[in-house]
Amino acid sequence: PAIPTALKALVLGSGAWLLGSGLSPSRSQLSSPRAVEAEVTRMFKDFMIQFNRTYRSPAEQQRRFGIFIQSLVTAQQLQETELGTGQYGVTRFSDWTDEEFRGVFQSHPPPSMAQAPRLPRGKLPTSCDWRKAGAVTAVRNQGMECHSCWAFAAVSNIESLWNIHFHQPRNLSVQEVLDCSWCGAGCNGGYVWDAFTTVLRLRGLTSEADYPYKGKTEKCKKNDKPSAAYIQGFQTLPEDEEEIAAHVASQGPITVTLNSAAMKYYKRGISQPLVKNCSPDQLDHVVLLVGYGAGDSVVKITLTPLCLSLRQLTVVNERQFWIIKNSWGDHWGEQGYYRLYRGRNACGVSKFPVTAIVQRLGAPGSKVHCPS
């Protein structure tokens, strides 16, 4: 029943987005509902092949097809209202309802906590990317059955800080954080601060090799294996994107909690959804902020003036963005990364910045340098 309505929305949406996504033959071929339905059916078949989907009954397949169309409509709306250069389309979540998506990736809303002192305002480097220093471990995949983004982000944060301050690469155990979580959250989803509290209580974290990821909560096995890294504590940062950038540039990657609504459809580009499409008050996903940048982005606008000749207008404007490491595998987004508009608290990115404190004993506050 939802299908005809959704199809109508796709037709009304002019099909321009389908064209832009390279998924559709031509605009004129999308002029009738029947043509759109044929096209969308083809897209769904491609989707099933690409993401290896089998449904247990024809009825279930029909239901998923309806959700898929609804996802196309949402992606199209995001695309048509996009203020940045973000591109949205079919992803592996396209046949998931919003409830299912939130169910897996949801984290709890953050509590209030004491904040780190503000850094002295110096001149902020225009860009910073800790990946270029080799300080960010490979993108991992939390899997479909475990709400473990909070643990992945926290562990990534510790791995990066350990690398930056001790110049030792580490792959650390997310599973240990899940199994031994102080609040007992595990795969049910938790707070990023619970991960840090857990690491403090365990007096360090075991390596991934010694305590590998299972994607489900098991019994805490703190064993005789040595800890591979330690933290001295953790802190929240001011809710201010300048401060956050200054901290990232001078100290290293940090965790942030954001609204993942646009991420469900994100493919590439600098994402800047309308506030109503990505409320800064509904934080549900924890990720690692590994740097930031500013780039001139060229937006081509095609005008059809009265004289009927097509003209292209090129608009150049500077866009500031955050570079965000996600935990949905490296096939998602830009090789596992998300670029999000920086400067307007997009999707609530600045609301809950938290980081572990990792310091070389005897050398607190040692200078580190983030590659630009």
Q: CB-side exposure of 274: number of CA atoms within 13 Å? A: 10
Cβ proximity to ligand NAG, 49 vs 310, nearer residue: 49
Residue 114 as a binder of ligand NAG (CB under 6 A): the answer is: no
> What minimum distance in Å lies between the beta carbon of 54 and ligand NAG?
6
Catalytic residue chosen out of the listed positions 128, 163, 285, 370: 285
Per-residue tokens: 254: 């940090």
Q: CB-side exposure of 107: number of CA atoms within 13 Å? A: 28
List Cα–Cα distances, 71 to 38, 67, 96, in angstroms.
17, 6, 8
Which one-letter amino acid corresponds to residue 268? R
Longest dimension (CA), the chain: 79
Backbone φ and ψ for 153, nearest 5 degrees, come out as -65, -45
Cβ proximity to ligand NAG, 153 vs 245, nearer residue: 153
Cβ proximity to ligand NAG, 162 vs 341, nearer residue: 162
> What minimum distance in Å lies between the beta carbon of 294 and ligand NAG?
30
Where in 261-280 is the site for ligand NAG (CB under 6 A)?
none
Where in 216-245 is the site for ligand NAG (CB under 6 A)?
none
Cβ proximity to ligand NAG, 193 vs 337, nearer residue: 337
The question of whether 149 is a catalytic residue gets the answer yes
Could you tell me which of 15, 93, 99 has the C-alpha nearest to residue 50? 93
Q: Which residue has the tokens 């791995």?
A: 159
> What minimum distance in Å lies between the beta carbon of 160 and ligand NAG?
13
Residue 29 as a binder of ligand NAG (CB under 6 A): the answer is: no
- For residue 92, the 8-state DSSP code is T
Which one-letter amino acid corresponds to residue 334? E
Selected binder of ligand NAG within 22, 28, 34, 52 (CB under 6 A): 52
Catalytic residue chosen out of the listed positions 128, 146, 147, 149: 149
Counting residues that bind ligand NAG (by CB under 6 A) gives 5
Sign of CA dihedral 82, 85, 89, 95: negative
Residue 57 as a binder of ligand NAG (CB under 6 A): the answer is: no
Per-residue tokens: 41: 């059916």
Catalytic residue chosen out of the listed positions 157, 163, 259, 326: 326
Taking the chain, what is the end-to-end CA distance rounded to the nearest angstrom?
52
Cβ proximity to ligand NAG, 31 vs 50, nearer residue: 50
Residues whose CB falls within 8 Å of the CB of residue 102, separated by 6 or more in sequence, listed in order:
284
Residue 138 as a binder of ligand NAG (CB under 6 A): the answer is: yes
Selected binder of ligand NAG within 33, 109, 169, 233 (CB under 6 A): 169
The question of whether 331 is a catalytic residue gets the answer no
Could you tell me which of 309, 285, 261, 369 has the C-alpha nearest to residue 110? 285
Cβ proximity to ligand NAG, 143 vs 293, nearer residue: 143
Whether 162 and 168 have beta carbons less than 8 Å apart is answered as: yes
Cβ proximity to ligand NAG, 138 vs 306, nearer residue: 138
The three-class DSSP label of residue 326 is: coil
List Cα–Cα distances, 356 to 85, 119, 186, in angstroms.
32, 16, 19
Q: Report the run of H or E that residue 300 belongs to, with start and end.
A: strand 285-303
> What minimum distance in Å lies between the beta carbon of 81 and ligand NAG?
34
Cβ proximity to ligand NAG, 29 vs 141, nearer residue: 141
> What minimum distance in Å lies between the beta carbon of 206 and ligand NAG?
13
CA distance 98 to 182: 29
The question of whether 285 is a catalytic residue gets the answer yes
Per-residue tokens: 239: 């809710």
> What minimum distance in Å lies between the beta carbon of 140 and ligand NAG?
8
Binding site for ligand NAG (CB under 6 A): 52, 54, 138, 169, 171
Q: Which residues are catalytic?
A: 149, 285, 326
